[in-house]
Structure 1
Amino acid sequence: MSSATMPSSRIFYGWFVVAAAFAVTFVGFGCAFSFSAFVEPLQREFGASRGSVSLVFSLAGFLYFGLGAVSGPLADRLGSRRLVVAGMVLTGLGLAAAGAARSLAAVYAAYGLGVGFGIGFAYVPAIGVVQRWFFRRRGFASGLAVSGIGVGTLAMPPLATLLISTIGWRGAYFTLGALVAVVGGGLALLIENDPRDRGLGPDGDPPPSGVQPARREGATVGEAIRSPRFISLYAACLIASFGGFVPFVHLVPYARDHGIAPASAVLLLSTIGIGSTAGRFTLGGLADRIGRQSSLLLMISGMTLALAIWVVATSFWSLTVFALVFGLFYGGWVAILPAVVMDSFGSRNVSGIIGILYSSVALGTLIGPSAAGFAFDLSHTYTLPILASAGTNIVAAIILVAMSRTNRVTNEAGGRA
């Protein structure tokens, strides 16, 4: 028995927390970002427009990012594990209920509320808790945890397409719901809230001598959200999110409109997952070396470049280039953002502050994909929505540049004082 436990005793438990967060983001967002594969079946089933079907995803996205403002502070107070387990079970039930829906309104309620509330109560607590377990390798650990989103985006859309073709879209949602509840809920049990509960410090170092407990350093939620730094981050994330989630809903329909076969169109969504996974694995670690704040600006600028490629991409291969580049920088953005929050405001209320920041992403997710769908319904082209998406990312980059300059001036003034 002792020999069986020896290998795991050499592994810092923080990596098990990372693995749990990876599993949660893999099945949760993997299923959510497979929605593009369901757009055409839902249109046919309910005789609905592309904009009205896109609103299903937007409602869910609004909730699962917006509810971080509730689940984050609850995780700081009650611990993350119970919230993440409950969120995964609720996500599974929401997917199953969507499969049983008999009207588009019922899909709004089942998918929008079930998946929205479920991921909303799981995501921020799972990612926030990872930040406490690491210091030197925080960017890498955070990137590894959220790389589940990228791997899920790679693996789940083809699985969803296969399920739709074999057992129908309803059966596909039943199957995905069971997968989320069992795999996500089960592995979430590995989550523990603080390394000090195991007598450890971040990165597996010994805790500071004489420190016991539970008090963590950092800003209160009120102090954080009133700071110019948080306000700038919030504005940048809000504006970038208007365009940042449009490809997850509209890339497959866009490709189909340009004569690309369904199986190949879904592969484009998986290609975003490939790029996203690479971005989370590599760019999070790179940010630890070159600076996480400057890396965040690089990610937003890269997403802008990718959206500019999309404007002129009409063939499978040009869209593949777009998907890879967009996925790479989108993945880096998601990986680095929680670490930037931890760097800026400390561990005391990290989940709560991340959750409030993500409410900006919620608003962008609610408005961007659905607005793109309704714009397509009016114009029968995606040119304007894609250009608008690129434009919002340019504005977000300008806000981050201004924030960096303000911080530099403040730091220099503080140094002279």
Structure 2
Amino acid sequence: MRDSISSDEQSPRYFGWRIVAALFLVELSIFGFGLYGHGIYVTELRRLNDWPTGLIASGTTLSLVLGSLLSMFVSDLLRWLGPRSLVLAGVAALATGLALLGSATSVLQLYIGFSVLALAWVGLGAVTAAAIVGAWFDRKRGLAISLTYSGATCSGIVLAPGLVLLVGSIGFQQALWLAAAATLIVLIPVVATIVRFPRAAERLVASTNPTSATLSRWSLLQDAAFWSLTAPFALALFVQVAFIVHQIAILIPSIGFQRAGVAVSLTTAMSLAGRIGLGLFADRTDPRRVAVLSILSQSAALAVIGQSSDDSALLVACAVFGFSIGNLITLPALIVQREFAPGAFSVVLGLSMGVAGVINACGPAAMGLLRDLSGGYTTPIFIGVVIQVASALGLLLKPAIVRRMA
């Protein structure tokens, strides 16, 4: 039976690959508008309303923190609502959040928009996508998750620069309203017709509940192995998310708004290259070692960005930083797959990414506040370098892992 399933996974006709394609579009949308778009929101809302950078970036942090907290319960929501209803609810929240942000003229409206956007992360985010895709795959799970998350990378190549151009052409409000409408038009039919869990005849693991909580969240919070995964990624992503949100603002003084958009595109293009490379070898590499190398390369790139004003050097550094962006989102799922039993996958990943998400969501606000206090981005960038080096060393301190049995 298992050999038959593995053969199905290797066939392009296997329905699981349609799930991957549908959730690729979902990740494209949520990361494009829910993460990469924040750099544009910070820049434009500050220009239009003369609000402090720290105030707007705190809204970004609110969105990411709230989304991360709620994502801890994705396994329960999938069991109660089912994947299709949960993802459709996320699509509605994303469109509504974009419309509210585009119309924001007061701080209250701003924070309501960011709060609604947070709900989109629950239905569309990485934890939900990994749980749904993971239910369809066994031996090809690493590749399938990596390809699904490639939508997050492509969002920086397609949506972020496209949104920059759209804002420049028709204005911030109209651009976000158009983005909200396009999200509904594209995603609703795709999700409604494709996204679901496998039936018993389609997957061996469908005979068990793919969202069952085989480990309690409280026991995980007391587990050294869990923290050896969660804490280092929380620190690394704290810096990564902060840089992504502030990248345009960091680069504008040196290379201008339009070239900053090009730099974002280059950054995420390299992220796609890194993610594809990881996907090809995901099942044959040690994901912890790959993570250490990825984080150290990002710290070196940040050091260059923090002290250089040369166009070429900045573009190269953005490319190096970008090569590991997608992998730092994918690697936690691959480590959970290796170190915990399949039945616990969505619970462990949800809690790990939720805890880490609460921490790394503070990155944009922290960088914004440090920028306001220090008068520039140099200080927060070099603090980020130190944090990333510490996180890489933390991943090397791997306690003895006893594989959990479902």
TM-score over 0.5 for the pair: yes
| TM-fit CA distance, 1:78 | 4.1
Would you say 1:233 and 2:233 are equivalent positions?
no
AA aligned opposite 1:220: L
The equivalent of 1:12 in structure 2 is 14
Which deviations, in whole Å up to 9, do the C-alpha atoms of 1:54-73 show, x marking residues without a partner? 22222222223332102233
Would you say 1:127 and 2:130 are equivalent positions?
yes
The equivalent of 1:256 in structure 2 is 252
Relative to 1, partners in 2 of residues 1:55 and 1:77: Cα closer, same or farther, differing over 3 Å?
same
Would you say 1:247 and 2:240 are equivalent positions?
no
Relative to 1, partners in 2 of residues 1:131 and 1:293: Cα closer, same or farther, differing over 3 Å?
farther
Contact 1:95 1:173 in 2 (8 A): yes
Q: Paired residue for 2:313, among 318, 324, 340?
A: 318
Contact 1:277 1:328 in 2 (8 A): yes
Would you say 1:379 and 2:374 are equivalent positions?
yes
Residue range with higher mean Cα deviation, 19-28 or 299-308: 299-308
Contact 1:27 1:183 in 2 (8 A): no
Contact 2:32 2:160 in 1 (8 A): yes
Q: Separation in 2 of the partners of 1:364 and 1:10?
A: 39
AA aligned opposite 2:236: A
Which deviations, in whole Å up to 9, do the C-alpha atoms of 1:217-242 show, x marking residues without a partner? 99423454433211221211222222
Matched residue of 2:72: which SS? helix
Which deviations, in whole Å up to 9, do the C-alpha atoms of 1:143-183 show, x marking residues without a partner? 11011011001111221112211221011110111222232
AA aligned opposite 1:25: E
The equivalent of 1:214 in structure 2 is 208
> 1:14-413, aligned counterparts within 5 Å?
14-32=16-34, 33-110=36-113, 112-123=114-125, 124-189=127-192, 190-194=194-198, 197=199, 199-201=201-203, 207=204, 213-215=207-209, 219-222=214-217, 223-258=219-254, 260-403=255-398, 406-407=399-400
Contact 1:18 1:141 in 2 (8 A): yes
Which deviations, in whole Å up to 9, do the C-alpha atoms of 1:99-140 show, x marking residues without a partner? 122213311211x11211112232121222112222322222
AA aligned opposite 1:226: Q
Contact 2:72 2:353 in 1 (8 A): yes
Which deviations, in whole Å up to 9, do the C-alpha atoms of 1:37-94 show, x marking residues without a partner? 2323211221111111222222222223332102233224543221111111111111
Q: Separation in 1 of the partners of 2:225 and 2:305?
A: 32
Unaligned 5+ segments in structure 2 are 1-10
Percent identity between the two aligned chains:
26
AA aligned opposite 2:287: R
Relative to 1, partners in 2 of residues 1:378 and 1:185: Cα closer, same or farther, differing over 3 Å?
same
Q: Separation in 2 of the partners of 1:334 and 1:157?
A: 18
Q: Separation in 2 of the partners of 1:266 and 1:292?
A: 31
Relative to 1, partners in 2 of residues 1:268 and 1:345: Cα closer, same or farther, differing over 3 Å?
same
AA aligned opposite 1:281: I
| TM-fit CA distance, 1:215 | 4.7
Contact 2:296 2:388 in 1 (8 A): yes
| TM-fit CA distance, 1:314 | 1.9
Q: Separation in 2 of the partners of 1:214 and 1:77?
A: 15
Residue range with higher mean Cα deviation, 261-270 or 351-360: 351-360
Relative to 1, partners in 2 of residues 1:10 and 1:198: Cα closer, same or farther, differing over 3 Å?
farther
Q: Separation in 2 of the partners of 1:407 and 1:308?
A: 34
Relative to 1, partners in 2 of residues 1:346 and 1:186: Cα closer, same or farther, differing over 3 Å?
farther
Relative to 1, partners in 2 of residues 1:305 and 1:286: Cα closer, same or farther, differing over 3 Å?
farther
Relative to 1, partners in 2 of residues 1:175 and 1:200: Cα closer, same or farther, differing over 3 Å?
same
Q: Separation in 2 of the partners of 1:264 and 1:229?
A: 43
Contact 1:84 1:185 in 2 (8 A): no
Contact 2:291 2:392 in 1 (8 A): no
Relative to 1, partners in 2 of residues 1:38 and 1:289: Cα closer, same or farther, differing over 3 Å?
same
Relative to 1, partners in 2 of residues 1:212 and 1:59: Cα closer, same or farther, differing over 3 Å?
closer
Q: TM-score by structure 2 length?
A: 0.89
User: Root-mean-square deviation (CA), in Å?
Assistant: 2.2
Q: TM-score by structure 1 length?
A: 0.87
Alignment coverage as a number of residue pairs: 388
Relative to 1, partners in 2 of residues 1:282 and 1:152: Cα closer, same or farther, differing over 3 Å?
same
Relative to 1, partners in 2 of residues 1:373 and 1:151: Cα closer, same or farther, differing over 3 Å?
same
| TM-fit CA distance, 1:10 | 6.0
Q: Separation in 1 of the partners of 2:284 and 2:213?
A: 23
Q: Separation in 1 of the partners of 2:139 and 2:300?
A: 31
| TM-fit CA distance, 1:301 | 2.5
Matched residue of 1:243: which SS? helix
AA aligned opposite 2:230: Y
Contact 1:70 1:355 in 2 (8 A): yes
Which deviations, in whole Å up to 9, do the C-alpha atoms of 1:347-395 show, x marking residues without a partner? 3242232221112332233321111111111212211111111111112
